[in-house]
Structure 1
Amino acid sequence: MANIISPAFSGGDGSWHLKVKVTNLDLDKELRVRGDLHIGGVMLRLVEELGMKRDWSDYALWWPEKNKWLLRTKWTLDQYGAHADSKLEFTPMHKQLRIQLPDLRYVDLMVDVSVKVFRSVAILCKDLGIRHPEELSFLKPLEPEDLRYNFSDDPRRKKLAQEIASNGKTPVVSPDTNAYVREKALLNHSQNGHDRNYERSYSPFGTMNANGTLHNSRFDSSLNHIGGMSNTGWSCPLATTPASLTSDARRNLLRPKSLVEKARINVSWLDSSLSLKEQGIQEYETVWLRCKFYNFYDLNPKYDPVRINQVYEQAKAELFAELVDCTEEEMLMFAALQHQATIKSRDPAAFETDEVDGQTRYDEDEIDQALSELQATLEGSTLTSTPLANSGKDITSVPELGDFLRFAKPKTFGFKSFKKYWATCHDQQIYLYKNREDAGRDPVYHLPLKGCEVAPDVNLSSGKYGIKVEVPSEEGMTEVHFRCDNEEQYAKWMAAIRLASRGKTLADSSYAAEKKSILAFLSMQHPAPAPTTNSSGMNSVVELNPEEYVPQRFLRRAKTGKLVQRILEAHANVKDLSLCEAKMNYIRAWQSLPDHGVTLFVVRFRGPHEKNKDELLGVAPNRLMRMDLNSGHHIKTWRLNTMKSWRVNWETQELHIEFDNETVILFCSSAACKVVHEFIGGYIFLSMRSKDVSQNLNEEMFHKLTCGWV
């Protein structure tokens, strides 16, 4: 019987037929090629055979079976491994996507889906006028169902595996990426071919082209409504967000009900080292753009009106969804700042530029403040108003705080019992003595502060100024409490302990600024003697609906009328702030919360002495925290500056982190290991930023630190 040779392999010169689909024309073509033909030649021959006069510069070859772009035009088909059975696509590299911005607005944009996500976000942020794009990234939209299970235990993954097995096709999902994103994409496309989230979302401002220009007849009419008067030269409509356009979106926010669900919400971050298309993102799909790393560098009102607004709106959304905890007094302060920002956003004068002959005009007070800050930086902060135990020593010695404080070490059972001690803080250590005369002798307690966790325990209405400190010890983290007598004393000691936790002493130039910010934070929480109802003409037209300002758990505690009254009382403290000042104060207050910037993951620690149970890993800009799954109690803290190396075993999905004195091995069950790895590497990358070096993004360094392959 004669051998039957497929037509695809016919040709004595070694040529074969290559099938290429032109996606936008829904046209299939066959080209006779040889393995030594380079990719550029394939595209040129395809365009010639199509015979259509159009701009093909944005088109490239995509290999669906291998889930990769063929972008190296000088490489040959043999080098890429393409053969006669390969089916390629000739498709545009820019696709229209629906992007939900941090302020919860949707915009339709042309996005490059062929470059790595890190680069794609950088291009997008440049078009939108957002500096420091390394702080942001894309997420796959989440649904309430995503919070029910850990990623590794999600039954939908088993269903997907069964569907794939029945189709006889295995998806290309590399172990060193976020499999959730790709698998979710396969689930969404299995029925209707594109993301169903697209139909549920809408774009209140219409579409936005590649240069960031929004076009929609409705947008022009809304421009005056939000205060972005076109005749004043204001060119950034994204620098303010109408409350009416995001109120519905805030109501539909995911609200995790536990620490575990807060951890599961981090499952959908896209892999920064792969392109959007490689992760299954197709045209017309929805992705979220969010601030990923909570290490905001150089937020400058002069250069960052859009960036400040987007960070401010994401902070509002996180507080509204209760992703970050705060006290009732703090929540009233946030509501007051939000109310002030809303009032000012409706005032056209808030958007007028302060320029004379093309140059920015500065007030004398601003110049004096800048000079004072420069002097403090050069000379180091002074503690002249602080009682010093070493006042007679050489001025080159490290400053020391000394004060009477009440101290308690919680017992296993029973209430905390506070006792007054003479406390000194020196060189990242706190020493407690029975009385002042015993200072310098053996202390009753010695608390090393480096690597500690510190949180406020303040209730202004009852005059409570407490500081909760979790101190590293051999058994883990030991919790202790301090009580101060007044705001001034509280600010001094809270600033000192915060600096010590970061490895800094009282001699650091940032001590004065830290203390000042703490006092400012407290001053905004004081209730005013009288509310500001109708104190200005603008106030009378701004309706204060508590449901737009306060999370659900606070709404349930008080009647609407009483809550409005308390918000207006708090607003009296901030009624003189400008729009930008209100937003910046909101952001600073958000950053002062204990839980701010901590990204959670459900993990299991490995090792001979580890218990096989779920725990939490908290990843913050400067540290990693081992935490109790139910209470959130800190079991141990590791500073990133003590980390010597980290690597991933992609087969077992285990992360190995080597510190100065120990090696930590963990498995993440709430997200792919790549997500955890990228957060750690990303924060290390951000810590390397400095005004002394070029601010051009070092993409190669970012990927070395985050991709896991060094």
Structure 2
Amino acid sequence: MAAWDLSVTVEDLGPDAPPVTISVASDLHVGGVIVKLVEKTQIKRDWSDHALWWDQKKMWLLRTAWTLEKYGIHADARLIFMPQHRPLKLDLPNGKTVITKQYRPASVVDKAHINGRWLDSSRCLMQQNIQENDRLWLRFKYYTFYELDPKYDVVRLTQLYEQARWAILLEDIDCTEEEMMLFGALQYHISKVSQSEPQALSTNTAMDDLESALLSLEVKMEGESSSATELLETMTAPELNDYLKIFRFKGSRKDEVLGIAPNRLIRIDLGVGDVVKTWRYNNMKQWNVNWDIRQVAIEFEGNVNIAFSCVTADCRIVHEFIGGYIFMSTRSREKSDVLNQELFHKLTGGHEAL
């Protein structure tokens, strides 16, 4: 059994305080290390939110029953004893300050670069170098929605609407003029209904005309498309619900754009923006990620195999989007459908989440 002196930085002692040195053995569990630290500091306070952070490995030592030997911690480990929860600035989709200052993509390439900034849902914020008082932007990530009830989900619906509205106004997404006009008409209609008295609506000729036009449009849509998914497929690409990544096929020297939609992958020509090829998830047999060389390999029915590496984003983001949308496709619209978080993390977490 090996024994040594372990130096631990205690954040509560201040930035200029030297590390606290304690004598430990390889069979000492993490909880025992914390007890020694608390006794050595002689500070009386609530330590329940504190934990040990391993700086080199970028991980919390949360399994307090594990020994130092099991974690692989030696004398050269840089450990920090600090609170797990910290203040964070979170901007909502309708935040005017963020909207006016955010970078506006001028091309498909710019959009692909921006879409490489999604955080990993399987890792904590500190593992992704998010520090105290950093600013994050809350966004709807998967464009497949469940359990939205106007009576109980007003906040979620409002944020979803604001995200879509500002994405159109700032030309962050591509859409046709008809789609933009439809969105504006719906916005006007909802605004008037929410602000007007019920009696006044029946006497408003303009509102009656708009109501009739929207009803006619709704009937036309229902006749042409049996579902919202089919309706989205008639829209121009890249669609409202695409996330773009620049990638390079295995054996190719040419960079291309990959659009990730709720039901398929879209290969887009980087030069002109035209759709070259689409692959549907329901034809996918399996997908794998080689975490060592950062390459995604996908096998489809009909002996179709593709492999590519990501240029503007980590391959983890592509893996997470594919797994997330496949998980969404397995869900039922019934109220009794319980969210299977374990399956979601299994499909999106990948090798690095283990």
Q: For the superposition of Structure 1 and Structure 2, which TM-score range results when normalised by the shorter chain?
A: 0.7 to 0.9
**1:52 maps to which residue?**
43
Any residues of structure 2 matched to 1:439-454 within 5 Å, and which?
A: none
CA root-mean-square deviation: 3.0
Q: Distance in 1 between matches of 2:137 and 2:179?
A: 28
**1:304 maps to which residue?**
153
Superposition deviation, residue 24 in structure 1: 2.7
**1:599 maps to which residue?**
243
Q: Distance in 2 between matches of 1:46 and 1:317?
A: 50
1:703 correspondence with 2:345: yes
1:281 correspondence with 2:130: yes
Superposition deviation, residue 620 in structure 1: 0.6
Superposition deviation, residue 279 in structure 1: 1.1
Any residues of structure 2 matched to 1:501-516 within 5 Å, and which?
A: none
Query: Which of 11, 23, 26 is matched with 1:23 structurally?
Result: 11
**1:495 maps to which residue?**
225
Q: Which amino acid aligns with 1:258?
A: S
Q: Contact 2:147 / 2:335 at 8 angstroms: preserved in 1? A: no
Superposition deviation, residue 341 in structure 1: 5.4
Q: Contact 2:147 / 2:333 at 8 angstroms: preserved in 1? A: no
Alpha-carbon distance change, 19 to 649 in structure 1, aligned in 2, over 3 angstroms:
same
**2:307 maps to which residue?**
665
Q: Distance in 2 between matches of 1:291 and 1:87?
A: 36
**2:84 maps to which residue?**
93
Superposition deviation, residue 37 in structure 1: 0.5
Superposition deviation, residue 702 in structure 1: 1.8
Q: Distance in 1 between matches of 2:224 and 2:176?
A: 17
Q: Which amino acid aligns with 2:347?
A: L
Q: Distance in 2 between matches of 1:348 and 1:23?
A: 56
Q: Distance in 1 between matches of 2:134 and 2:344?
A: 27
Superposition deviation, residue 14 in structure 1: 4.2
Q: Which amino acid aligns with 1:606?
A: K
Q: Which amino acid aligns with 2:3?
A: S
Q: Contact 1:654 / 1:665 at 8 angstroms: preserved in 2? A: yes
Q: Which amino acid aligns with 2:114?
A: I
Aligned length: 329
1:577-625 deviation digits (Å, cap 9, x = unpaired): xxxxxxxxxxxxx998541211111112225xxx531222111111111
Superposition deviation, residue 53 in structure 1: 2.2
Alpha-carbon distance change, 650 to 68 in structure 1, aligned in 2, over 3 angstroms:
same
Any residues of structure 2 matched to 1:121-520 within 5 Å, and which?
A: 246=96, 248-339=97-188, 491=221, 494-495=224-225
Q: Contact 2:146 / 2:333 at 8 angstroms: preserved in 1? A: no
1:80 correspondence with 2:68: no
Q: Distance in 2 between matches of 1:623 and 1:251?
A: 33
Which of these two proteins has the greater Rg computed from alpha carbons?
Answer: 1
Q: Contact 2:256 / 2:267 at 8 angstroms: preserved in 1? A: yes
Q: Distance in 2 between matches of 1:669 and 1:59?
A: 38
Alpha-carbon distance change, 251 to 74 in structure 1, aligned in 2, over 3 angstroms:
same
1:640 correspondence with 2:281: yes
Gaps of 5+ in 2: 199-215
1:690 correspondence with 2:332: yes
Superposition deviation, residue 66 in structure 1: 2.0
Percent of pairs with identical residues = 47
Alpha-carbon distance change, 493 to 79 in structure 1, aligned in 2, over 3 angstroms:
same
Superposition deviation, residue 490 in structure 1: 6.5
Q: Distance in 2 between matches of 1:17 and 1:57?
A: 25
Alpha-carbon distance change, 640 to 693 in structure 1, aligned in 2, over 3 angstroms:
farther
TM-score normalised by the chain length of structure 2: 0.83
Superposition deviation, residue 330 in structure 1: 3.9
Q: Distance in 2 between matches of 1:53 and 1:694?
A: 48
Superposition deviation, residue 494 in structure 1: 3.4
Q: Contact 1:647 / 1:708 at 8 angstroms: preserved in 2? A: no
Q: Which amino acid aligns with 2:86?
A: K
1:40 correspondence with 2:28: no
Q: Contact 2:175 / 2:240 at 8 angstroms: preserved in 1? A: no
Q: Distance in 2 between matches of 1:692 and 1:329?
A: 32
Superposition deviation, residue 704 in structure 1: 1.8
**1:649 maps to which residue?**
290
1:516-560 deviation digits (Å, cap 9, x = unpaired): xxxxxxxxxxxxxxxxxxxxxxxxxxxxxxxxxxxxxxxxxxxxx
1:61 correspondence with 2:13: no
Q: Which amino acid aligns with 1:71?
A: L
1:361-393 deviation digits (Å, cap 9, x = unpaired): xxxxxxxxxxxxxxxxxxxxxxxxxxxxxxxxx
Q: Distance in 2 between matches of 1:32 and 1:349?
A: 74
